[in-house]
């Protein structure tokens, strides 16, 4: 392998022969010295792949000239070192690969060319649910039920791990993808084929950005884009602007990393960072542990940026040692980063690079807070939570309103649970979950929760038995140090037993609530509350019966569980009264930072990480016992309701079809702002009255066997019916929440899938109208695949979240954007018109195209194909069609 930019250096490892690394021929190049560190990683990746086919020398020059060209929509290729997947997005990716092998074979090519050429790790973490809690055997029973439900999916994934090279499966029960990546998979510096170069990663989960906290540049992409990357296709991206986020000062003693990230999320949503990199710098960064930084980087999708990068410093190097990485490799990592000018000293301002824009946060100004009740960016100080919730009760229906009549604000519903009488009101907590890699990856907040539980139990406090409490750590290391430090038993006494190692409540796998609780909530039309240490709280995501959901630190999750309500002022009201009649306030049991750090120093040690991760791929006996076929081509089972060959490649030929004007399209749905991928393609429960439920029932399944939408992503028949099936969907054509729309030719109100089928049978194309931030949230590619299968040819929105726009492009659905200053209201669009979208013969990135209505009105919109490569995908009918033609020819 020869490369014009490879440099031979002294061996970094004395046991190794001379090594090469990729970097500029002159490190003193003034342009390099001023580049943001995140852009330096892009540069290194471009240099590593520099040849006349993949990356041109001009691409390298463009990245070096970042300061000059950042605002000019300059396209650059990025080929990451690794890909990570979780099972909800990984199953459809493997399904696509299997179907692509079939398609390549039909076109006369070699099907085994469909194979990952870079390392791909798939972590099974999305399947386990909180079916059992508050019992010592909850973990085992939930894992047993997970295998019972998902055996067919797991067998398919095991086939994939054998049929495809470079694909490793991390079995269920091992942890959460991003925490496993942080603690085990991430290299920081790659040592491969005689070369050193920076680690980088893309993942089929939007929170892949968590690894940015360790100094590994990574972000989430849709499954279809990740598939192309695995097959060797670089990501085509516009060279991003980089917002420098300067951290100053020290956090106050009672503040956690959760409070910091919720504060940053609100701040950066206000700044506006969609499609940009955020890079953290300033002396305040040195006050944050890697776990703190990872928490902040994890919620990058919630503030809308592409990446949230913390350059590598000595604390990063120390974390590699703490988590049991090989010490000699860590030493080489540090030497390499020093040699190429990528080891950061946050206290040295002379290293501060140039940024597009700089914003600041004084960490001392951060106060304990939560976010909610419906969006992560809606931060509320803990001291204001009671007042804010009560204001939301009566406010107009929206992100901060439930529109409950004033005379019902104090409604009380009595119910019986396990022979005892209880009461629920608006604001009653019914779910309290310590969940998600966002927080369970951080020993300080987890040990803080454990110490708070210990003090609460010793003070005589309890949690009401009907509240669904749970603890789902992101890795076995967490349980290890909670147990060794002596706090696990106290967490269990408050109901926070370990229920599984996976995403669980954070992604809506919260399991059922007690029937009597559901009945009280429903009959009283109560705004019940979920409190979780997760990263998202969109409507309908956490649980169908919790209309208000708040993100909080693990200690606060326990505090609100003890209180039993969100309507409490912790400064003035006690958490509870113990058996002796003493009032116990939150301040009485909140652990100090010194207490937490002392326990962390003693019990979070390298040996724990080594012991857990050395057996991660073999410890699950149920997984080991699974048998899978060994054929290179998958044998599809027509009776399967989990795995089905998708129709995306039916009728595909080597010849390209010229894109045609979209004639007389009807509007399937009309939305406002912040429609999420959860609204478009929900991951949670399959409602018994839904089109997907009717399909599964027709295949002989009972409601108990439905599982979730997320688990059914290997079956397009289920997923098409689940598109726009969120029970909290707000469609402007309908005067109530729900997954329905109007079929305009007949005037009937139908389920969205049924309406789309009617349009399809009549040969009518469809579009969707939307407001700002369309496609926010998870990276799920089914939020683009589903509309494609419904017959949606284009979406017209005010703005898009980055990953979803990319997914639409990948499926050949046209993302259209209103011109600046225009929207549906200013143009007088009702959505009841028919739309003809003129597609010119010659297309160029971000060109304006004409849209004609059947009313005679004409206007223009931006066609959001942002690069020439994206236009190539469009001409092919999508990125996977492009890859099949490329492999077949």
Provide mean pLDDT across the span 165-190: 95
> What average pLDDT does range 253-271 have in this prediction?
95
Q: Is 113 in the same domain as 50?
A: no
Residues 818 and 878 in one domain: yes
Q: What is the tens place of the pLDDT at every residue in 798-811?
A: 999 988 999 999 99
Residue 50 has pLDDT above 80, yes or no: no
pLDDT digits (tens, 9 = 90+) for 479-497: 999 999 999 999 999 999 9
Please check whether residue 241 is in contact with residue 217, taking contact to mean a CB–CB distance below 8 angstroms: no
Mean pLDDT, to the nearest integer, of 15-44? 75
Q: Does residue 13 surpass a pLDDT of 50?
A: yes
In a domain, 715, yes or no: no
What confidence tens digit (pLDDT) does each residue in 503-559 have? Answer: 999 998 999 999 999 999 999 999 999 999 999 998 888 999 999 999 999 999 999
Question: Could you tell me if residue 710 is inside a domain?
Answer: no
Residue 412 sits in the same domain as residue 432: yes
Contacts of 413 (CB under 8 A, 6+ apart): 423, 424, 425, 520, 521, 523, 524, 526
- Asked if pLDDT for residue 25 goes beyond 60, the answer is no
- Answer whether 880's CB lies under 8 Å from 227's CB: yes
The total domain count for the chain is: 5
Do 566 and 475 sit in the same domain of this protein? yes
* pLDDT level of residue 725 (50, 70, 90 thresholds): very high
Q: Which of 184, 205, 237 is the last residue of a domain?
A: 237
Average pLDDT over residues 816-829: 97
User: What's the rounded mean pLDDT across residues 561-568?
Assistant: 98
- Whether 160 and 262 map to the same domain: the answer is no
For the cut 90, the answer to whether the pLDDT of residue 163 exceeds it is yes
Identify whether 466 is part of a domain.
Answer: yes
Picking from 186, 209, 237, the residue at the C-terminal end of a domain is: 237
Closest residue by Cα to residue 435 from 128, 181, 147, 665: 128
Return the percentage of the chain with pLDDT > 90, whole number: 82
Please check whether residue 770 lies inside any domain of the structure: yes
Residue range of the domain that includes 476: 369-611
Same domain, 139 and 53: no
Using the predicted structure, report yes or no on whether residue 2 has a pLDDT greater than 60: no
Q: Contact at 8 Å (CB) between 509 and 130?
A: yes
For residue 56, which of 39, 42, 76, 33 has the smallest C-alpha distance?
76
**What is the percent of the chain where pLDDT is above 70?**
96
Distance CA 889, CA 877 (A): 17
Q: Concatenated DSSP letters for 659-680?
A: P--EEEEEEEEE--S--BHHHH
CA-CA distance, 388 to 379, in Å (whole number)? Answer: 10
Those residues with Cβ within 8 angstroms of residue 704's Cβ, 6 or more apart along the chain or in another chain: none
Calculate helix-pair angle for 57-64, 37-48, nearest 10 degrees: 170
Q: Is 249 left (phi over 0), alpha (psi -120 to 50) or beta?
A: left
Task: Tell me whether residue 339 is in a domain.
Answer: no
Do 72 and 181 sit in the same domain of this protein? Answer: no
pLDDT confidence bin for 26, thresholds 50/70/90: very low
- Confidence (pLDDT) at 7: 67
Residue 707 lies inside a defined structural domain of this protein? no
Last residue of a domain, one of 78, 106, 135: 78
**19 or 279: which carries more pLDDT confidence?**
279
* Contacts with 31 (C-beta within 8 Å, 6 or more apart), sequence order: 64, 65, 66, 67
CATH number at residue 529: 3.30.499.10
Would you state the pLDDT for residue 98? 96
- The reply to whether 385 and 428 lie within a common domain is yes
Are 432 and 560 within 8 A, CB to CB?
Answer: yes
CA distance 755 to 100: 30
pLDDT score of 347 more than 70: yes
Residue 4's pLDDT is what?
58
Report pLDDT for 538.
87
pLDDT digits (tens, 9 = 90+) for 827-869: 999 999 999 999 999 999 999 999 999 999 999 999 999 988 8
Asked whether residue 390 falls in the same domain as residue 421, the answer is yes
Which run of H or E residues covers position 386?
helix 385-394
pLDDT bin (cut points 50, 70, 90) of residue 71 is confident
Flag whether 21 is in a domain: yes
Of 240, 236, 307, 235, nearest to 72 by C-alpha is 240
Q: Are residues 475 and 539 located together in one domain of the fold?
A: yes
Q: What is the pLDDT of residue 58?
A: 81
Mean pLDDT of 650-677: 94
Q: What integer is the mean pLDDT of 691-710? A: 94
Tokens 């890697």 — which residue? 290
Three-class SS state of 843: coil
Task: Work out the mean pLDDT of the chain and round it to a whole number.
Answer: 93
Q: Are residues 163 and 266 in the same domain?
A: no
Residue 690 covered by a domain: no
Residue-level pLDDT at 126? 93
Q: What is the pTM of this model?
A: 0.89
Together in a domain, 42 and 174: no
Question: Among all chains, which residue has been given the structure tokens 């991660």?
Answer: 616
CATH number at residue 353: 3.40.1060.10
- 1 has pLDDT over 50: no
């Amino acid at each position: 392998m020869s490369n014009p930019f490879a440099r031979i250096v002294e061996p970094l490892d004395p046991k190794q022969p001379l090594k090469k690394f990729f970097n500029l021929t002159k490190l003193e190049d003034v342009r390099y010295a001023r580049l943001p560190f995140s852009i330096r990683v892009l540069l290194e990746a471009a240099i590593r792949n520099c040849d006349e086919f993949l990356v041109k020398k001009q691409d390298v020059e463009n990245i070096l000239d970042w300061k000059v060209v950042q605002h000019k929509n300059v396209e650059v290729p990025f080929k990451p070192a690794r890909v990570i997947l979780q099972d909800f997005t990984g199953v459809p990716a493997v399904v696509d690969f299997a179907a692509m092998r079939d398609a390549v074979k039909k076109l006369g090519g070699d099907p085994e060319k469909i194979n990952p050429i870079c390392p791909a790790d798939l972590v099974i973490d999305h399947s386990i649910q909180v079916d059992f809690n508050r019992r010592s055997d909850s973990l085992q029973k939930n894992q047993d039920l997970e295998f019972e439900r998902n055996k067919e999916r797991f067998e398919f994934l095991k086939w994939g791990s054998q049929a495809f090279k470079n694909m490793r499966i991390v079995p269920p029960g091992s942890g959460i993808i991003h925490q496993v990546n942080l603690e085990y998979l991430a290299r920081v510096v790659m040592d491969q084929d005689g070369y050193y170069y920076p680690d980088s990663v893309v993942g089929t989960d939007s929170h892949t950005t968590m690894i940015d906290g360790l100094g590994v540049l990574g972000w989430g992409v849709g499954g279809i884009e990740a598939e192309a990357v695995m097959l060797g296709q670089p990501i085509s991206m516009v060279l991003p602007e980089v917002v420098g986020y300067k951290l100053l000062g020290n956090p106050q003693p009672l503040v956690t990393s959760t409070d910091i990230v919720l504060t940053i999320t609100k701040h950066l949503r206000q700044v506006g960072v969609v499609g940009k990199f955020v890079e953290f710098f300033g002396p305040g960064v040195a006050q944050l542990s890697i776990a703190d930084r990872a928490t902040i980087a994890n919620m990058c999708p919630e503030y809308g940026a592409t990446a949230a990068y913390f350059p590598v410093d000595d604390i990063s190097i120390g974390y590699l040692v703490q988590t049991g990485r090989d010490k000699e490799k860590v030493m080489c990592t540090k030497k390499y980063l020093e040699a190429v000018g990528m080891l950061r000293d946050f206290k040295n301002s002379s290293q501060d690079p140039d940024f597009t824009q700089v914003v600041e946060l004084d960490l001392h100004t951060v106060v304990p807070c939560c976010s909610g009740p419906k969006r992560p960016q809606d931060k509320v100080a803990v001291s204001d939570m009671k007042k804010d919730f009560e204001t939301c009760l009566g406010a107009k229906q929206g992100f901060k309103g439930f529109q409950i009549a004033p005379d019902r604000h104090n409604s009380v519903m009595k119910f019986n649970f396990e022979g005892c009488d209880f009461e629920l009101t608006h604001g009653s907590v019914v779910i309290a979950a310590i969940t998600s890699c966002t927080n369970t990856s951080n020993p300080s907040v987890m040990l803080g929760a454990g110490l708070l539980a210990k003090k609460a139990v010793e003070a005589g406090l309890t949690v009401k038995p009907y509240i669904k409490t749970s603890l789902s750590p992101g890795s076995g290391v967490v349980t290890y140090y909670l147990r060794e430090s002596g706090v696990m038993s106290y967490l269990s006494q408050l109901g926070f037993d370990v229920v599984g190692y996976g995403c669980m409540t954070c992604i809506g796998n919260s399991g059922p609530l007690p029937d009597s609780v559901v009945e009280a909530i429903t009959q009283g039309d109560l705004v019940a509350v979920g409190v979780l240490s997760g990263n998202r709280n969109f409507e309908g995501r956490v649980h169908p019966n919790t209309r208000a959901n708040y993100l909080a630190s693990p200690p606060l999750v326990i505090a609100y569980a003890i209180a039993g309500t969100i309507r409490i002022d912790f400064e003035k009201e006690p958490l509870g009264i113990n058996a002796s009649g003493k009032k116990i306030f939150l301040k009485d049991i909140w652990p100090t930072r010194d207490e937490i750090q002392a326990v962390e120093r003693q019990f979070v040690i390298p040996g724990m990480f080594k012991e857990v991760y050395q057996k991660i791929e073999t410890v699950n006996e149920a997984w080991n016992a699974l048998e899978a076929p060994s054929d290179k081509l998958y044998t599809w089972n027509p009776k399967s309701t989990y795995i089905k060959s998708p129709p995306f490649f039916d009728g595909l030929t080597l010849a390209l079809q010229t894109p045609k004007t979209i004639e007389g399209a009807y509007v399937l749905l009309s939305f406002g702002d912040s429609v999420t991928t959860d609204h478009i393609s929900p991951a949670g429960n399959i409602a018994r009255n839904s089109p997907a439920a009717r399909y599964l029932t027709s295949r002989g399944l009972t409601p108990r066997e439905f599982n979730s939408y997320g688990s059914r992503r290997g079956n397009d028949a289920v997923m098409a019916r689940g598109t726009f099936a969120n029970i909290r969907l707000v469609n402007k054509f309908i005067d109530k929440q729900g997954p329905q729309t109007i079929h305009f030719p007949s005037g009937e109100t139908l389920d969205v899938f049924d309406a789309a089928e009617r349009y399809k049978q009549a040969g009518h194309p469809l579009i969707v109208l939307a407001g700002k931030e369309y496609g926010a949230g998870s990276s799920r590619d089914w939020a683009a695949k589903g509309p494609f299968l419904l017959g949606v040819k284009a979406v017209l929105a005010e703005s898009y979240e980055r990953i979803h726009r990319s997914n639409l492009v990948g499926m050949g659905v046209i993302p259209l954007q209103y011109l600046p200053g225009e929207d549906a209201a200013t143009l007088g669009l009702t959505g009841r018109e028919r739309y003809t979208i003129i597609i010119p013969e010659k297309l160029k990135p971000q060109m304006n195209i004409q849209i004609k209505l059947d009313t005679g009105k004409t206007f223009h919109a931006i066609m959001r194909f942002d690069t020439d490569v994206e236009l190539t995908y469009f001409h092919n009918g999508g990125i996977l069609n492009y890859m099949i033609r490329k492999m077949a020819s």
